[in-house]
Amino acid sequence: MTDPAPATFRDLPYARPDLDSLARRYAEELAPAFRDAKSADAENRIIETWNGLRSNLGTSEAIARVRYKQDTKDAAAEAENAFFDAAAPRMEELEVLFARTILGSPRRSEIAERWGPQLIRILEARREQFRSEIAEAVAEEAQLGSRYTKLLAQAEIPFRGESLTLSELARPTQDPDRATREEAQRARFGYFEAHREELDEIYDRLVRLRDGMGRTLGFGGFTRLGYLRMTRTDYGPAEVARFREEIRRRVVPLAREIRNRQAKKLGLAKLLFHDEPLHDPRGNPKPVGDGAFILGEARRMYHAMHPDLGRFIDLMIERDLLDLESRKGKSHGGFCSFFPDYRVPFIFSNFNGTQHDVEVLTHEAGHAFQGYMSRDARVVDYFFPTLEACEIHSMSMEFLAWPFMERFFGEAADRFRRQHLAGAILFLPYAALVDEFQHEVYARPGLAPRERKALWLDLERRYLPWRDYGGLPFVSDGGLWQHQRHIYASPFYYIDYALAETCALQMWRKAESDRPRALEDYFEICRVGGSLPFQEIVRRGRLVSPFEEGCLAEAVEAARAWLAERE
Ligand code: ZN
């Protein structure tokens, strides 16, 4: 395998790409040369050059995006981020030119043989999702997404004499003291209330823009375009709707049982919204050390798990490819990025002293390790798979780390595992809710902001029937979804987590009964990377597709039994 470049993240060179000369090279050199090529060999050489250019461009963008999210108040970083927002349509245009040119070849089967048939599927999806008529809308969409990111990143919320970011505020929302929890949620959604109009306006504009793009492309609305953007090549909205129905039938009853048990454990007659984050009257399990401690333990854990994981974590630490702690001005959330030219991943998170720190690190390390294992991928499109498959790597890693939880949580490790599994079950209905909400929103793009909130509350009653906001402002009116970044920035990217969780639960069961086999399957799907579509990756991991009848029911029964045994 290739050795990743020996630089730290800080030292990675960055220069704003020259899109004019790149566009000329695509249009005047590469595309005509490809069309004139007389053999598959000649075509493949051009694809290789092209792949190199796409790798350069993708690397520049990934570096700019990460550096901006590290400090949204840095004007130079903001300018580079804005450059890529504005460049989004031109970059799409370049990608589409690449896709059209290659798909126009009479030797597609030889191309598929050299690069894998998944490249053809990816290019087909890409070809359909852009025409120059939507260029302006694409740029505006990116700008609106960045406006939303900035609005949330720069929140400085007064709370008991301190000024907290949204990530930092997550900690008091799970305080054992009920009044503290409620006050924290009031402070949190007070910020949203203060920006109500802007949040509504950004989303309303996004929905109308996306609907318009879908119509311009001849899809009659956004949904089909949304699926194409997610490169969902082996299933569609009908399969996803059936999967949501399975969640409603199979998972919601167990989720309700878990909530009832939680209320009893907390000694509450009625579990309110601000009680939901607390699972134990003693407080949720907390890591027994700070961020540096967690990282040190993670390093030992990965060395103990497998030599490849050990090499991977050493690389991440030695090359400074992690930014874990929360800071003012740093964008909220956690994600994993990848720099194709250097063949290294990057992990971004916001540690806040809760169990979340361990979860986010194992989760993002799952993504990053898969990228690391796929670093010799033939084309840039294969470094990561489509997102529902990506999340199998991350969520399975959270479960594969279970035997090591004593290192992070000490005596509370068992409580952590219980809560983690319960959390996985509780998450599924929420993910289905976010997904159905978006399908409804894009099916009825003319809804007013107020009507969208009513729709959310309506769906919430079906998926989270226990939910009671206890009169908490903003969320009582149906505004909760406005804190969910995906709904703004990555439409339809959410059910992916539920599809992947369904696979990760299978990986959990396998690891409980046969850990070596589970690890073997895990490494296999990491190596596959993005070279196959979702359901084929699932098969390579010897897992059952979430779309198969009964798949979810089995996982849910296993979780129910495991949890009942340990109550
Ligand atoms: Zn993830």
Q: What is the pLDDT of residue 566?
A: 87
Q: Which residue has the tokens 């609907």?
A: 211
Encode pLDDT of 492-530 as tens digits: 999 999 999 999 999 999 999 999 999 999 999 999 999
Between the CA of 357 and the centroid of ligand 1 the distance, in Å, is: 14
**CA 336 to centroid of ligand 1, rounded, Å:** 7
DSSP 12: S
The per-residue pLDDT for 109 is 94
Q: How far does residue 382's CA lie from ligand 1's centre (Å)?
A: 17
pLDDT for 154 equals 85
CA 349 to centroid of ligand 1, rounded, Å: 11
Q: Cα(28)–Cα(87) distance, rounded to whole angstroms?
A: 20
Ligand 1 centre to CA of 526 (Å) is 14
Long-range contacts of 517-526 (CB under 8 A, 24+ apart): 518/400, 519/305, 519/306, 519/400, 522/393, 522/396, 522/397, 522/400, 523/306, 523/308, 523/373, 525/370, 525/389, 525/392, 525/393, 526/369, 526/370, 526/373, 526/374, 526/393
CA–CA dist 499, 480 (Å, integer): 22
Ligand 1 centroid distance, CA of 297 (Å): 21
| Three-state DSSP state, 159 | strand
**Residue 6: its pLDDT value, please?**
67
CA of 367 to the centre of ligand 1 (A): 7
Please give the distance, rounded to the nearest whole angstrom, from the Cα atom of residue 30 to the centre of ligand 1: 35
**Cα of 361 from ligand 1 centre, angstroms:** 10
Q: What is the pLDDT of residue 85?
A: 87
Output the CA 9–ligand 1 centroid distance in Å.
21
Distance 507 CA to ligand 1 centre (A): 16
Cα 155 to ligand 1 centroid, rounded to whole Å:
23
Taking the centre of ligand 1 as the mean of its atom positions, its distance from the CA of residue 353, in whole angstroms, is 20
C-alpha 383 – ligand 1 centre gap (Å): 15
State whether residue 432 is helix, strand or coil. helix
pLDDT at 3: 65
Amino acid in the structure at residue 184:
A
Distance 497 CA to ligand 1 centre (A): 8
**How many A from CA of 391 to the centre of ligand 1?**
5
Distance 363 CA to ligand 1 centre (A): 6
Q: Cβ distance 402 to 519 under 8 Å?
A: no
CA of 369 to the centre of ligand 1 (A): 12
364 alpha carbon – ligand 1 mean position (Å) = 6
What are the residue ranges in the chain where pLDDT is below 70? 1-6
Separation of 399 CA from ligand 1 center, angstroms?
14
542 alpha carbon – ligand 1 mean position (Å):
21
Give the pLDDT of residue 163: 94
Distance 496 CA to ligand 1 centre (A): 9
Residues, CB within 5 angstroms of ligand 1 (ion): 394
Residue pair 174/284 in contact (Cβ under 8 Å)? The answer is yes
pLDDT (0 to 100) of residue 352: 86
| DSSP structural state of residue 263 | H
The rounded Å distance from CA 390 to ligand 1 centre is 7
- What DSSP string runs through 309-375? HHHHHHHHHHTT-EEEE--TTSPPS-EEEEETTTTEEEEEEEE-SSTHHHHHHHHHHHHHHHHHHTT
Q: Where are the alpha helices (DSSP H) in 154-251?
A: 166-169, 178-194, 196-216, 223-229, 237-246
Instruction: Identify residue 547 by its one-letter amino acid code.
Output: F
Cα 36 to averaged position of ligand 1 atoms, centre (Å): 42
pLDDT of 297 = 98
Span from the CA of 517 to the centroid of ligand 1 (angstroms): 23
pLDDT value of residue 7: 83
Spell out the alpha helix ranges (H) of 374-412.
387-400, 405-409
The whole-angstrom separation of Cα 238 and Cα 258 is 29
- Scanning 71-134, the segments in alpha helix (DSSP H) are 75-103, 108-115, 117-128
481 CA distance to ligand 1 middle (Å): 18
CA 48–ligand 1 middle distance (angstroms):
30
Between the CA of 370 and the centroid of ligand 1 the distance, in Å, is 12
* pLDDT at residue 2 in the model: 63
The beta-carbon contacts of 318-323 under 8 Å, at least 24 apart in sequence, are 318/8, 319/4, 319/6, 319/7, 319/8, 319/9, 319/344, 320/8, 320/9, 320/10, 321/8, 321/9, 321/345, 321/346, 321/347, 321/368, 322/295, 322/346, 322/347, 323/66, 323/70, 323/347, 323/348, 323/349
Say how many Å lie between the CA of residue 243 and the centre of ligand 1. 20
Find the 489 Cα to ligand 1 centroid distance in Å: 15
| Tens-digit pLDDT profile for residues 272-323 | 999 999 999 998 899 999 999 999 999 999 999 999 999 999 999 999 999 9
Tell how far the Cα of 388 is from the centroid of ligand 1, in angstroms.
Answer: 9
Ligand 1 centroid from CA 387, angstroms: 8
First-residue to last-residue Cα distance in the chain:
47
Sequence-distant (≥ 6) Cβ neighbours of residue 231 within 8 angstroms: 121, 122, 125, 126, 386
